[in-house]
Structure 1
Amino acid sequence: MMRLKRDFSLHWKNYLILFLVVELSLEVAVIPLFNAWTSLLLNLGAIPYLSYTNALSLVTSHPYITLGLLLELIILIICVFGQFALILNGVVLIRQDEFSFRAILKNTARQLRQLDPLGIFFFAGYFLLIVPFSGIFFSSPLLSKVVIPEFILDFLLQKPLYATLISIFYLAIFILSIRLLFVLPLMLFEKVKIKTALAQSWQLTKNKFWSYTLKLLKISLIALITNLGLTGILYSIQLGLDQTSPLSALIGGSINVTLLQIGSFLISVWASVALLQLILPTNVPLATYKSTKKSWLSKIAKPLFALFTLGTLLGNGAYLVHLGQTPLIISHRGVDAKNGVQNTIPALRKTAQAKPNYIEIDIQETKDHKFVVMHDENLKQLADLDTSPQELTLAQLTALTVHENGHQAKIPSFDEYLSVAKQYKQKLLVEIKTTKRDSKNMLKNFFDTYKTTLKQNNHELQSLDYKVITNAKKYAPTLNAYYILPYNFIFPQTPANGYTMEKTTLNDSFVTQAKLSFKKVYSWTVNSEEDLKKAAFLDVDGIITDNVTEARWVYHNFNANTSYANRLLDAVILLPE
């Protein structure tokens, strides 16, 4: 660790430049190119959106577009590999005091040409194994969407068997990540094949699993404690500045948030360098002196960094005074903090008193072509009856009692729910759930029956099924209809009025594109204080939440408390996103 400390103190500026240039190059050039490529392919195929729901039809109906997307995926994997190789080569050259981007690019290009093609594809999975704490040590904006949506994890973790299997899986991943720690450096610098690299890494880490685990833990703890210490110091300073004039507090706040960002980035660079030096070949020597050579990069580094810092300062000033809009608060499945059974009348009556802007409900078609308020495709969980709503008549369904969170209630018809909502002047966001068992004219019958009522009471629609959106625009063009996206692959081009996006992959780029396209964005399911603040900062139009009362409390305090010190703490959560 002393060796690392000496090396980092000598070369921290070069390390900072290396990581900053690579990161900015990806964000400003590479990622926009990939987005443009995807959009071009979808436009050529007249494909309005990309999701798992249309994956099969994409393959069967658009083979050439599919091949183009697969080629894009291959190049993406190569770029991720290239990012890691660039940084690793940069660290090696900095250690040898021979840092130049020309040399880094030359070495990386040579290594890619010499690499076994299978090695690049192996890296796609290997990246998920090499760093258990990838957010601290190494992350790539190219893989920012490679995450499991939170609603899927929540569903799986509620099942004891799945929760156990997931725990075993992550434990196995952690063990493999330690045992395969040296695979990529061996492939890059020793020019060995995958099989040999795997065997050698396994041998190098033999009987050293806990040693390397403790080293990684130590690096993580140092980074965490340093970050907390920096945040605490700047927060204390800002508390004092908040007692001065508004202008001084704002200027001081902008500087402190900028220092926090730069400091946090430098800490993450140190942690990444610490990991990379841990896995580098031992025959790479360390430089023990400061170079007196001045490269062109060194000459422009200071003005470039000054320009970057000035832009960051101005951006942080805007952040401190602009809190984002308070989004519409939408009750998820008609409940507020488990105050009743989802999608039932008693829960509606209680939740309406909390005055959400909308109450979101789910409806399905019944055996006799009526509509019932129900989310699940099977009644087993709520009614202890192993059947679907489509196999029972409306009369049979409304006679059933459902149980949840210590409450019980009858299953309501859609007509009954609409009637009670009208009594409370409560607007609804109606999700139409479709199944293979629905009648042929289900959507036409729905709109013929309900479009006037929905429009008169300012209700809105949403659905995971794209056919619902196209039919809504056909039969009820003035009714607001939102297409539900569980994953943010690429911004869609659809006739929907907006998009209901699962919060895990929702980002500011998607929201910005939506605003430029005059589309609204609802985020689901937003429950924690942290997620509620993120949603406001992203300027989404609405949040779908299980906790209406808490959401109102969070947004009230968020807007009422103008302390820049508190904004600085929020920046730890909000600005990195």
Structure 2
Amino acid sequence: MLLTESFNWDTLFQKSLEVLGRYHLLGGIITGVYLLGFLPFLHFLFKTPWLSNLTLTSMVTEFVSRNPITLVGGQLLYICLLYFLIRFYLVLPLMVLENEGIFSSLKISWQTTSTKNFWKKFWLALIKVFLITWSGYLVILLLQVIADWILPTYNLLAINYALFSLWGIVSLGISITLAYTEVQITNRRRIFLLEFLLIAITFTLSFATGKVLFNHPINPVTIAHRGVNQKNGVPNTLESLKKTIKYHPDYIEMDVHMTKDNKFIVLHDNNLKKLAGIKAHPEDLTLAELKKLNVTANNHKTKLTDFDTYLKYANQHHQKLLIELKTTPNNATDFANIFAKRYYANIIENHHQLHTLDFQTLMILQNDIPKGNLNYLMPYNLTIPEENIHAYGMRYSTLSPDFVAINRQKHKLVYAWTPNSRLAINKALSLGVYGIVTDNVSQLHVAIKEAQHWSDAERLLQVLLYS
């Protein structure tokens, strides 16, 4: 009955409200599992603006790819999850349209999807959607190549047209697939109007996003993460700074902690166990005690460096710094006040930048240091940016074209961190971010030079692949 009864939007909406009244918690959980489970698959297949803004897939992929065990385990787990999601794909429709209970819906869905005929239809539909969708993408790329060759002055329009046309290809694929079902749609005029409205909105948003993204040359600020390049030393030490300066990054990013005696040490971790082998926090020791410690990383061994020495060497070699203030709940206010009063003149004179994960610290710093020298670090792109912030540093895997475009329109800067592989760097470049923080600044320089010679078709391909 589910696939043969007359379909009506008003009836579906009314029944959905009734079901939510009975299964609001359970239905919400099931819906959430479905969305999370199918999101990576949908993100790969359909390159729509909305899916590009859902960066959860990239975040999870980045996490599981950090070592081979989690990568293989994650892939196997996801395959198993997809299998069960497909077997139970009728659960929600049965609950909504047929008033079935959860257990009977699970049973019916499992039985319905256990036949060879079902899997034959499933794979056939999947292949059709894949071929139609990606054939459309290839056609769009071919049109862009032709535009690059014949009409170079219309490249911007062609790119924007390609962006919003992606949804048209996806809609076509979905529509053709649905045409093989037995659903009888009533009120076709309303369906047409809804589809037209959806396409119009997509056209407008994609055009605006594309115009902002592609109207800027690829020339990001290069930033060496923690003062190293390709593990050439212990991070955040003077020895590494001396080596990394030779690669001529625009900025060297480094981290600063406040010590027990209200001085500053160059260090990332809030615990000295990993680097120095002792169970202590930087704020538990004086600067003199910290400078005596031997630290080891990347097969290198050296001493910790105080911030004054690090800053002096950078200034002498005209190397700008991007300084992260590593505050704790116990010292955030004192840290910001002491640091600002002690170093604000040096920072402004030598064009250094400050950034921090702590919003309170940032607000205190604004009392003494111009906003143009301050950036707000956000681990994930999950919230609306603050209006009074000049620049943002954000994990590259959580960035979306819309986020970068919106901040460009507001004249706000976006830094991407920390793309280290060539694929990750290309994603950041294709998004048009202002700056890129990486552990491999020498590779970044090479990637930028190549990206600056991308044709519009190649740049469109990068967005298509990585957004």
The TM-score with structure 2 as length reference comes to: 0.79
Partner Cα distance (1:528, 1:309) in 2? 32
> Measured at CA, do residues 311 and 461 of structure 1 come closer, stay the same or move farther in structure 2, by a change above 3 Å?
closer
In structure 2, which of residues 93, 99, 108 is the aligned counterpart of residue 191 of structure 1? 99
Moved more, 565-574 or 176-185: 565-574
- 1:169-318 equivalences under 5 Å are 169-170=77-78, 172-205=80-113, 212=119, 220=126, 223-224=129-130, 247=151, 258=161, 262=165, 265-266=168-169, 269-270=172-173, 274=177, 284=182, 295=189
Contact 1:324 1:536 survives alignment (8 Å): no
Distance in 1 between the 2:198 and 2:34 partners? 35
Residues 220 and 271 in structure 1, CA contact (< 8 A), matched pair in contact too: no
1:526-550, Cα deviation, whole Å (9 max, x unpaired): 3344544544454432222222222
Q: CA deviation at 1:415?
A: 1.3
Cα distance change on mapping 1:241 and 1:408 into 2, 3 Å: same
Query: Which string of whole-angstrom CA distances, capped at 9 and with x for unpartnered residues, describes residues 8-48 of structure 1?
Result: xxxxxxxxxxxxxxxxxxxxxxxxxxxxxxxxxxxxxxxxx
Identify the residue that residue 113 of structure 1 maps to in structure 2.
17
Equivalent residue in structure 1 for 2:360, among 450, 467, 479: 467
Task: Give the Cα–Cα distance (whole angstroms) in 1 for the partners of residues 141 and 389 of structure 2.
Answer: 44
C-alpha change, 1:168 and 1:354, in structure 2 (3 Å) is same
Residue number in structure 2 paired with 1:411: 304
- Do residues 141 (structure 1) and 45 (structure 2) align? no
Q: How does 1:58-207 map to 2 (within 5 A)?
A: 104-115=8-19, 116-118=22-24, 119-122=26-29, 123-129=31-37, 133-135=41-43, 141=50, 144-145=53-54, 147=56, 150=59, 154=62, 158=66, 166=74, 169-170=77-78, 172-205=80-113
Query: Partner of 2:238 in structure 1?
Result: 345
CA positional deviation for 1:464 = 0.5
Structure 2 counterpart of 1:367, one-letter code: K
- State the one-letter code of the partner of 1:566: E
Secondary structure, aligned partner of 1:181: coil
Aligned residue number for residue 434 of structure 2: 541
In structure 2, the CA distance between the partners of 1:187 and 1:519, relative to structure 1 (3 Å rule), is: same
Structure 2 CA distance for aligned equivalents of residues 265 and 315 of structure 1: 17
Other structure's SS at 1:429 match: strand
Structure 2: 5+ residue stretches without partners: none
Residue 566 (structure 1) aligned with residue 458 (structure 2): yes
- In angstroms, what is the RMSD of aligned CA positions? 4.5
| Contact residue 522 and residue 544 of structure 1 kept, 8 A | yes
The separation in 2 between residues aligned to 1:471 and 1:304, in whole angstroms, is 44
Aligned to 2:273: 380
- Residue identity over aligned pairs, in percent, reads 30
Question: CA 1:313–1:367 in structure 2 vs 1: closer, same or farther (change >3 Å)?
Answer: closer
Give, in whole Å, the separation in 2 of the partners of 1:173 and 1:164: 14
Of 429, 436, 442, the residue aligned with 2:335 is 442
Alpha-carbon distance, 1:439 to partner: 8.0
Q: Summarize deviations over 1:511-566 as a string: whole Å, max 9, x none.
A: 344345443222222334454454445443222222222222222222234x3443
| Residues 320-345 of structure 1, C-alpha deviations (whole Å, 9 max, x = no match) | 97354522122211122333222122
Change (3 A) 1:544 1:318: same
Aligned-partner SS, 2:265: strand
Q: What CA distance in whole angstroms lies between the structure 1 residues aligned with 2:189 and 2:418?
A: 51
Deviates more, 1:256-265 or 1:198-207: 256-265
Deviation at 1:185, TM superposition (A): 2.2
Alpha-carbon distance between aligned partners in 2 of 1:166 and 1:428, rounded to the nearest angstrom: 38
Closer/same/farther in 2, CA of residues 404 and 219 from structure 1, 3 Å limit: farther
Q: How many Å separate the matches in 1 of 2:371 and 2:240?
A: 29
What is the aligned residue count?
461
Q: Does the CA-based 8 Å contact 1:129-1:176 persist in structure 2?
A: no
- 1:162-192 CA deviation, whole Å, 9 max, x = no partner? 7687567535533432332221221133221
Q: TM-score, normalised by structure 1?
A: 0.65
Deviation at 1:431, TM superposition (A): 0.5
Structure 1: any 5+ residue segments left out of the alignment?
1-88
Contact 2:91 2:106 in 1 (8 A): yes
